[in-house]
Each structure stands twice: as structure tokens, then as C-alpha cells.
Amino acid sequence: MTTGVIPGGHNPEPRPTGERMPQQRHQPGQASPHVETRTGSSVITARAAATFEPVGRSVATARAFVRDTLQGWGFADVVDDAVVLTSELVTNAVVHAGTHADVLCLRTDDGVRIEVADRYPEREVPLQGSAVNMGSPDREGGRGLQLCAALAARWGVEYTSTHKNVWFQLDLPERPVGTRAAGPSLPADLLPLADGRVRVAVVQIDRKGSISAWNEDAEEIFGHSAAAVTGKPLTDLAAWPHTPGTGTGIAEALQLSRWEGSYGIRGADGRVTSVYASHLRVRDTGGEPSTVCLLVRDHERAVLQTPLRLPASDAGVTSDGQNSDPFEVFIGSPAPDDLDGLLQRTVERARDMLDGDSAFLLLATDDETELEVRASTGLPSARQRFARVPVEAGPGRYGSARMPAVHDDLAAVPGAVPLLTGTGMRSVVTVPLKVEGRLTGSLGVAAEAPGRYSNEEALRLQFAADRIALAVESARLGELERLRRGSLSFLVEASDLLAGTLDRDQTLALMAQMTVPTLATWCAVYTIADQASDPYLSYVLHEDEELIDGIKSLLAKVPPPDPVPTPGARVWTAPGEHAHQAALRSSMRSLGLTGGPTRQLSSGIGPTLATASAVGGETVVLPLVARNRVIGMLTLGKPTDEHFRQEILELAEDLSRRAALALDNARLYSERTAISQALQRSLLPPGTPHIEGMEVEVIYRAAGEGNEVGGDFYDVFPIADNAYGFAIGDVCGTGPNAAAVTGLARHALRLLAREGLSGPAVLERLNSAILDEGARSRFLTLLYGEMRPQEDGSAEMKVVCAGHPLPLRLRQDGTVEAAAEPQPLLGVIEDLELYEQTVTLDPGDVLLCVTDGVTERREGTRMLGDDGLADVLTTCTGLTAGAVAARIMRAVERFASDAPSDDMAILAMRVPGLQKD
């Protein structure tokens, strides 16, 4: 898609007939060359243009482009009609006509004009006067123009030799002039409370979510200077009250055209200031969108808060003076459609109803044994969100969670309400939320002054809690169902990924990458090699890669958690405490409070504080148990003042069970692979000996992934002074069973040959040894020989070919011939009568020995065969033994595209002679 935005300007000159529409991005201030303006005397105040490719997804992109453009211009009244018409016209262009679509939006003083051009001008235009059947939704031609006629104030179609241009204009409705909202005149003592001077922070956020403007009131309220925060994301300062993934987050709120509500801003001193905010999304004259945020302290929300406007026909009170819907009277209409929005609205209304300084709402777990903080106002919500407290914990407030309770002075009963510890609240009233007699939550309102509440306030709050309990429980169950569906999908995907690898390091990386940032902000995996070993820190991951090294260094200094096999997550406080102490020491050194030079130490305060903040929240440990043994621990952590949701911990527990089994499978596979490779390497010759007056080269390829030895084998070894034995063979089959016979044959050949036996005698005794294996025996083809370099520069070869592909001799003149005769193979019959043949290699001659994996290389119905091998060998005249073997292997690999299905061995022996240049 190509887009352009041109603010301001007057009517452009008409486009010449037949001019192609440009594909490049238009620059601000430059007239769009592909559209003729037909707005009469209206002044064009802004333009936005875009080009869309002829693909189906372009229709949705075009709708979004028009919607964003008109909302940015403040034309929300005509957005829906414009989007419907654009969707139909772009569909005709990119789907039915199959061409690019050019969309142009023109803003005027009295309306908006949109043009859609395609490059298929011969399409028929339906006449308005003709009868057109619009009943079929699948009809292609004319539906967009019919909608233009029905919805647009004016519309038309223009043709050129290369383009068809459909335009429509939507007029803005008349806006009412006067007061939009008003409240009654109130006595001074009933007006909202505010400080002596009300400060309104004005913060502007650019399209990337970064702060671009910060006024003096913002500096006064939060303590940050404009220079210190400009360019930083607002998310770095905002303590957002909503749950990521289940409700509107700050990133989504900044994208809305308007938003109003409460959240917190972290000040320069680290404290969170609760604010009430009003967001308005605007677009500047250059077409760049941004969001203007007005913020006041939360207790001064009346300055910005929009009054609740109920329908005039139903103000919540019937003719007899009774409330028609107590829930809507308390929550307001319309009620939030998500759980977090409903809970946040509840605590705000409860606080206002009892004129409190703060309010909070906790939800009970399914077994009613714990309460989890889900919403609060007037409190440092980020520090308390998702914190869990046992219901029956001692004589305090939560011990009586199922009954209303009033505390006149929390200072007299420290810890009675753990949520309010250290917040400055003195008096509190709490009531339970119940559904069908079951505890589902707890609602509380607190004040900074003691003795503010009595049983009367408790009854009022209980009445409100009864009205909302069912709605809250319904919303909670809906959210829980969505989370569980998402959890199942997550676990299925995780299982597929973990099952797709048997590599230990990759399994560790997958475990961490699946948890960060979906379940936690950072993750560490400890592994335990065996029961006598201590846990070892194997992998660390944080959503910010720059913090990984700091966390790894911190955890290396902390004793690892105990490998307890008890299932479930348990809290681990050691990392947070150690990080806090390290950050404190670093801060004191930077201030020179510990004596000594500070210039060299001050550079370390940044990473130390960042690491402390990263691990300062809740940290939990889940055991990795596989086959009734703890093989490691999965550690999950949150940043400062954040807690885990109970549902997230349950999901992490399910994941840890799957990850533990995958990690143990990877361990077992690695051990088995190491054992197999060690055994296979023991079956290979230790090396090729250096033979004076001979060149010897071997290439060996075992079929099958991970196999180093198969049914083919080779060997070159010394027998006596100036005498060497060589062998190349092929055991029936491949894999471990064939490799076992390979080991028997190779070691037996060396032993028998060094006893001074002749070649036929060696093979006859090997045949008997193979037959003695009984059911494990396999027949074997073998080429065995002895070589003796001669003083005249030649070499004498005595060979026995027992059922094996015949060795080929390459002479200096390029002729190729068989160097032996075929004889019976081994491992089939007991009485063998074998004989040896003598071949003399002249200088420059080559003796090539291969297994049938080379000659039987296939591509469809074609096979390389003995003749094909001989043809390749004829091209190797004058090459060294290594070059001959390499050329043969390349020819075999190029003969077919598929991977070899059989083992291959190539043994090339050459008497040095003259070589080609």
C-alpha cells in the first residue's frame, strides 16, 4: 500500500486525460496528481491518498485507512457510511476488476469527499433508472454505485482510457450549538474537594507512544522535568490498572479517539501518583496523529470527569420512586463489558459512595481459600495487583471475609488488612461478595482518618455489593473461560514445539521463550545432572535482552532453590532480596556514603538498579519432575511490585510438566547418542598407515542419520615388513546389526593376516567365524588383498574377491579393466575353495575398490552400474589417489538428487607416477 497526506491547499488543476496514477508516496504540500477536484467553491483543507494492491486483504486495509483518516479529521458522524461505500468500491476494484485501487480523501468545510479509482474502465456502469435486482448479496456489478446513490449526498463516475474513477461526497450533519452537559448548582460545602491550586498536567504522546510534550504542571505533580521524560514511552511511567491481554491496555487506550479513566504515574521519587485522565487523539496539519492527555490528581477527578448521562426516558427511577435497576444505578449505564473495567468502575463508585480515599476489590479462588487483588483506586495498585492472601489467616480482617467488617483504626490493629499496610489508611469497611451463598470476593473502602465508618456505611456498601456480585461472577467466569481456551491453545502449541526437538540446548531455549513474555517477565532454568549434583543455572531469558547478563550474574551469586519435588509454584524471595541489597550498596557508594573514591563505582549503579527492578517482583519456582525424579527447576519472575495471577501459575505448572518430560527425553537421547557414537567410532580403523611408494585414500559414508558405521567397512593395516593388508566389504543390511558383523570381520582380518596366513586361508577362517554367530550371522561380500611396493617403483597386489564388486585398474593410457575374478561370498556355505590373484600396478596405475552402494546408486529406473563407474574412472588418469576418490564420490552424489539409502565405501590405491599439469 502506498499512502500520502497533503494538508491544506485549494482545488488542484484537472488531471490530463489518460494520465497514469502515481505509485510513489506523495509529499506534504504537494497536490495529488491523480484526482480531479469537484468540490465547487469549497476549500480543500486536507487530503489523504493511498494505493492498494489487487489482493483480498486490501479491502480491510482500505477500510482502516478511511476510518483512521476521518476520525483524525473529527468526522466521526460520517465514518460508518464512508467505510461502507469505500469497502464496496475497493472490493469492485481489487477483487472483481483485479486492478490496483487508488483512494483519495478530501476534507472541506462542509463535508468529506472520497474517490476510488481502478484501472479497468470498460466495466459496465448500471443506470439508476434501470431495474436492478439488489436482492442477491453475491451480485458483483453495480452494488457499490447503488449504495452511493442511497447514502451519499452527491456521487459520480468518470472514465478515461486507462482509469475509472468513482467519487462520492458526504455532508456533515448540523452540530447542535449550546451546552452539551450541565449539573445542578450546588452549595459550596457540597462542591468537590481540590487543592488550593488545581494543576492540570498536559502530556502529548506521539504515534509511537513516546512523550513529545510535558508542561509545567506535569513537572510539579510528578517531579520529572520535561527534558528527562521527552522521548520516553508513556508505558515506562504509567502504572496501568488493567490486565494485559484481558482488557484495554495503555497502548490500546492511546489508539482510541477518546478515553477517560484512572491509572497511576510513577514520579521521580519512585512513588505512584493516582491520576484521572482524559485522552483525545488528534492529527496535526502534517497529518501526523498524536494523543493529548490531560491529567489531574485522582481526588480532583471532577475537573475532568464527564458527567454520567442517562437516557431521559429512564433515569433509573420509576414513577413510584424506586430504582428500576440497582446495578445500573450503582455502576452506571452502559456497564463495562469486560471484567477489569467492571471491577475498576466498582471500586471507583464504592469509594465515591462512601466518600473514601481509596477502595479495593478482591476475588476468591475456586476453593475459597485465597483472595486475589484485582482492582483498587487510591492505592499503589501495581504493587498489590494479583497479590494473594489466605481467607482464613489468623484473627485479622480476612479471617472474617464472609461477613461485613468495620475497622475504626488500623493503627491499633497492625496487619488487620494486609492490603492497606504502609498506605496511610486508618479506617476501613469491608463486605463480602456472595453468589448463592458462596464467597466470590470482597469489597472494601478505606479512609486516611480514623473512625470514618460505622455499621450504616457497611450496610450501604453491602447493599451495593449484593447488586453487583452476580455480574462480577458472570464476568469472572467469562474471563476464566477465555483464559482456559487460550491456555489450551498455548499448551497444544508448546507441546508441538517441545516434541519437535531432541536437542537439550534447544529444549532449554524453547522452555524460556515460551514463558517470556507470555507468562512472566523473566525466566531461569536450573538443571540437575543426577541426584548427587547441585542445581546448575543453565538458561536465563528476559524480555529486555540488555538485562539478561545482569540477571544471570545476580542468580550466579544466589544459592539455587531447593529441588523440592512437591508440585505447584512456590515463592522464592532470595533473588529479590539479594538484588535489593546490591542496589542499596551501589546507591550508597555512588553517594559517597561508604568512603573511598566513587568515580569508578558510579558507572555501575545503572545496571544494578535496573537488575534490581527487573527481579524485584514476585518470583516463583516450579519443579521439573520427570520419571519420578527432579531434573531441574523452572523459575519465573516479575518486575518490581508485580504479582502472578493464579491462572497464570496453573498454566505454568502444566507447562513445566510437559517441559520436564521433553528435557528428560532430550537428556536420554543425548546420552544414547553419545554411547552409540562412541561404540561406532570403535568399529572404524584408527587411521590409514603411511605406505612408502603408495598413495592410499578412503572415503566412507554410512547411511542413516546419526550413523557413523554401517554394513560397509574398509581397512588398511600393516602385516609385516613392507607388506600391507587391505580390505573392503559389505555386510548384508545396514544399521547396528550390520555394524556388529562389521566389527567382527575387521578385527578377525587383522588377527588372521598377522598370523602369516594367505589371503584364501584368512577368508576361509573368517567365513567359519561368521557362521558360528548362528541366527545373528549375515552374509558378507569381501575384497581382501595384500600389497607389496617393489624396488622398481611398481606394486604387487594379491587379491581375493569373495562376492564383492570387482576392483578396477586404471592404467596410464586411460584404459580400465577388472583386476580380479568373482568368487563365492562369505557367511553362506561352510566349505569354500578360494584362490588369490596377483596384479602388478605400474607407476601411475590406480586400483579402485568400492562397495555396491556406489555401483547401485539409482535415479528412478537408472542405475550407475559397473559401466558407469568405469566411465567415470577413465577421466581420472594422472590424478592422485585422493583426487580419484573425490571425483568418484562427486559423480555418485550428482547421479541422483535423493540422499543415499545404502552405505558407501571407496578405496583408491595408486602407485606414484607422472601427473598431469
To the nearest whole number, what is the mean pLDDT of the chain? 79
Distance CA 417, CA 439 (A): 18
Among candidate residues 654, 632, 398, the one with its CA nearest the CA of residue 535: 632
CB proximity list for 177: less than 8 A, separation 6 or greater: none
User: Regarding predicted confidence, which is higher, 220 or 312?
Assistant: 220
pLDDT digits (tens, 9 = 90+) for 252-285: 788 887 888 888 898 988 888 888 899 988 888 7
Task: Count, in order, helices (H) and strands (E) of the chain.
Answer: 20, 35
Q: Residue for cell digits 487530503? A: 47
Contacts 24+ apart (CB under 8 A), 856-865: 856/902, 857/892, 857/895, 857/896, 857/900, 858/896, 859/895, 859/896, 859/897, 859/898, 862/895, 864/891, 864/892, 864/895
Assess contact for 351 and 361: CB atoms under 8 A. Answer: no
Q: What is the pLDDT of residue 728?
A: 93
Q: What is the pLDDT of residues 693-711, one digit of tens each?
A: 899 999 988 776 655 566 6
In Å, how far are 24, 305, 401, 714, 754 from 766, measured between CA atoms? 80, 98, 87, 15, 14
Rounded (10°) angle between helices 736-753 and 646-683:
30
The rounded distance, in Å, linking the Cα atoms of 893 and 896 is: 6
- Cα–Cα dist 263/296, whole Å: 11
Instruction: Name the pLDDT band for 130 (thresholds 50, 70, 90).
Output: very low
243: CB partners within 8 A, 6+ apart: 340, 645
What would the mean pLDDT of 523-531 be, rounded to a whole number? Answer: 87
**Cis ω for the linkage preceding 517 (within 30 of 0):** yes
How do residues 319-343 score in pLDDT, each as one tens digit? 444 444 455 556 655 566 678 788 8
Residues 438-494 have pLDDT tens digits of 888 889 999 988 888 988 888 888 888 888 888 888 888 887 787 778 778 778 888
Following CA atoms 459, 463, 466, 467 in sequence, which dihedral angle do they give, to the nearest 10 degrees? -170
CA distance linking residue 66 with residue 52, whole number of Å: 12
Largest CA distance in the chain: 129
Strand ranges for 570-638 from DSSP E: 570-571, 619-626, 629-637
Q: Between vectors from CA 431 to CA 430 and to CA 435, what angle results, nearest 5°?
A: 155
- Tens digit of pLDDT for each residue in 742-751? 788 888 898 9
Contact (CB, 8 A) for 30 and 66:
no
Q: Is the pLDDT of residue 66 over 70?
A: yes
pLDDT of residue 315: 39
761: cell is 586361508
What would the mean pLDDT of 51-69 be, rounded to a whole number?
83
Max mean pLDDT range (597-611, 733-747, 888-902): 888-902
Q: Which amino acid is located at 825 in the chain? A: L
Q: How far is CA 367 from CA 176, 363, 390, 500, in A?
A: 55, 11, 11, 37
pLDDT band at 307 (very low <50, low <70, confident <90, very high): low
E strands, 324-459, where?
A: 358-364, 370-377, 388-390, 405-407, 427-435, 438-447
Cα–Cα distance measured from residue 367 to residue 401, given in angstroms and rounded to the nearest whole number = 14
Strand 522-527 and strand 536-542: the pairing is antiparallel
SS3 category, 630: strand
Burial of 115 per CB tally in 10 Å (0-12, 13-18, 19+): buried
Residue 916 pLDDT: 46
Q: Which residues, in sequence order, are bridge partners of residue 372?
A: 363, 388
Q: Phi-psi category of 523—alpha, beta or left, where left has phi over 0 and alpha has psi -120 to 50?
A: beta
Return the residue matching grid coordinates 587383522.
Answer: 750
Span 397-414, pLDDT tens digits: 444 567 888 888 888 887
Best CA proximity match to 804, nearest among 855, 870, 746 = 855
pLDDT digits (tens, 9 = 90+) for 810-851: 998 899 999 999 999 988 888 888 999 999 999 999 999 999
- For 619, the 3-state DSSP assignment is strand
> Does 4 score more than 50 pLDDT?
no
pLDDT tier at 736 (50, 70, 90 boundaries)?
low
For 572-614, how does the pLDDT look when each residue is reduced to its tens digit (9 = 90+)? 888 888 877 777 777 676 666 554 444 444 444 455 677 777 7
What confidence score (pLDDT) does residue 26 get? 38
In terms of Cα–Cα distance, which of 53, 60, 68 is closest to 101?
Answer: 53
Size (the chain), residues = 917
DSSP E strands: which ranges in 436-493? 438-447
For 102, 258, 767, 774, the CA distances from 770, given in Å and listed in that order, are: 81, 87, 5, 8
What letter would DSSP give residue 78?
Answer: G
What number is the average pLDDT over the span 646-652? Answer: 83
CA-CA distances (angstroms) from residue 446 to 107, 359, 416, 578? 52, 6, 13, 34
Q: What is the mean pLDDT of residues 901-914?
A: 85
C-alpha cell at 231: 522521548
Which helix (H) or strand (E) segment is 873 a member of?
helix 865-874
CB-based contact 479:455 (threshold 8 Å): no
Contact 435, 470 (CB under 8 A): yes
* Least confident stretch, 184-188, 285-289, 642-646, 771-775: 184-188
Most confident stretch, 234-248, 398-412, 901-915: 901-915
The 10s digit of each residue's pLDDT in 161-213 is 777 888 999 988 776 555 455 556 667 766 767 767 889 999 999 988 899 99
Question: What pLDDT shows up at residue 205?
Answer: 93
